[in-house]
Amino acid sequence: MRKKIVAGNWKMNLDYQSGLSLFSEIINMAKDEVIGNQELVVCSPFIHLSSLGQLSKNVTNVNIGAQNIHQAESGAYTGEISAVQVKSVGASHVILGHSERRAYFGETDALLAAKVDIALKHGLTPIFCIGETKEERESGDFFEIIKTQLTDGLFHLSNEAFAAVVLAYEPVWAIGTGLTASPEQAQEVHQFIRQVVAEKYGQEIADNTSILYGGSCNPGNAKDLFAQADIDGGLIGGASLKSRDFIDIAKVFNG
């Protein structure tokens, strides 16, 4: 049975103290209100990770993650951070392939494949992002774009390694724009992703792969999105910066 996951991506927001305050609120609310088997993951800027790791030590349903790692083990890469460093402060996850990393920092599928490898080597769960731009959606090429991102970024992995990856579909045209894919649009792509995975790794692995929706998910639309057969949670941007909103999204899975 695949995991239900609600992951927050704080992006480049919150100073040190504000991040700790928000995370403390999330932990306390999760203890009282999140009563299902869903997993919460908070992916913060690097400055917060060590302290968030300490705060979450004894919390079973809230984990922490990084928003990026370098593909090398270590070395002269000023300003970067390694999988070993991220893991050492208690992180369990890392977002890789986010559309902002692809667009603003030129990250290619080949580079992301190397980052996935180093993450898995050091016991981090990649939340691997795939998705199309507005132009690619309108041209009708988006299925092929998504298949290429999966193939070139992940399909070098063994069955065992791929089974440790979480996928996140993010329609780029719906990130920070206020637009959201309809539940039907999102389900169509999630179903396609699962089919592509099944063709490569078999139906059992495909059925056990968590696929999150990332594109302006909020407390108002989360219930309809998460009700879709192939949507297993969300990668939450803006709404993850408000503890009430983030917890309300997670509570959709309380059942």
Would you list which residues are annotated within the binding site for substrate?
A: 9-11, 176, 216, 237-238
At 202, phi and psi to the nearest 5? Answer: 95, 160
Structure tokens at 103: 């667009």
CA distance 81 to 91: 13
Residue appearing with tokens 């899975």? 253
Binding-site sequence positions? 9-11, 176, 216, 237-238
Mind telling me the catalytic residues? 98, 170
CA distance 242 to 30: 13
Structure tokens at 86: 């991220």
Largest Cα–Cα distance in the chain?
A: 49
Residues 8, 42 contacting (CB under 8 angstroms): yes
Q: Name the DSSP class of 227.
A: T
Q: Name the DSSP class of 213.
A: E
Q: Is the dihedral of CA 220, 226, 229, 230 positive or negative?
A: positive
